[in-house]
């Protein structure tokens, strides 16, 4: 298993009883999933929680900006733009909805 904070160069899928778990950055616009967990420092995870991004919350990818720009997501009825580095640390279950 890679060290905490290591970045993946390609898609990694993890099988769990609830479907595949992938990074939010790997979802395409229009895809939906459920947040499984969020990696990162306490400061980052707390900030995301303040924005409504918590485990077991539905998330949808609305748009992705070109050239490694931010991604636009829908969570709890709100639209948010988050950086790709942060989106990489949001692990999402897919394949069950």
3-40 pLDDT per residue, tens: 444 444 444 554 444 568 999 999 999 999 999 999 99
pLDDT at 2: 45
35-69 pLDDT per residue, tens: 999 999 999 999 999 999 999 999 999 999 988 89
Domains and CATH numbers, the chain: 22-94 (2.30.30.90)
Q: CA-CA distance, 57 to 42, in Å (whole number)?
A: 19
63-96 pLDDT per residue, tens: 999 888 999 999 999 999 999 999 999 999 997 5
pLDDT at 32: 96
What is the helix (H) or strand (E) element at residue 85, kind and residue range? helix 84-88
């Amino acid at each position: 298993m890679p060290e905490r904070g290591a970045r993946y160069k390609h898609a990694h899928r993890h099988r769990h009883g609830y479907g595949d778990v992938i990074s939010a950055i790997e979802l395409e616009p229009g895809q939906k999933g459920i947040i499984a967990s969020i990696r990162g420092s306490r400061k980052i995870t707390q900030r995301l929680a303040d924005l409504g991004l918590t485990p077991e919350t539905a998330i949808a990818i609305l748009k992705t900006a070109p050239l490694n720009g931010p991604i636009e997501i829908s969570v709890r009825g709100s639209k948010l733009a988050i950086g790709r580095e942060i989106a990489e640390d949001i692990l999402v279950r897919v394949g069950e909805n």
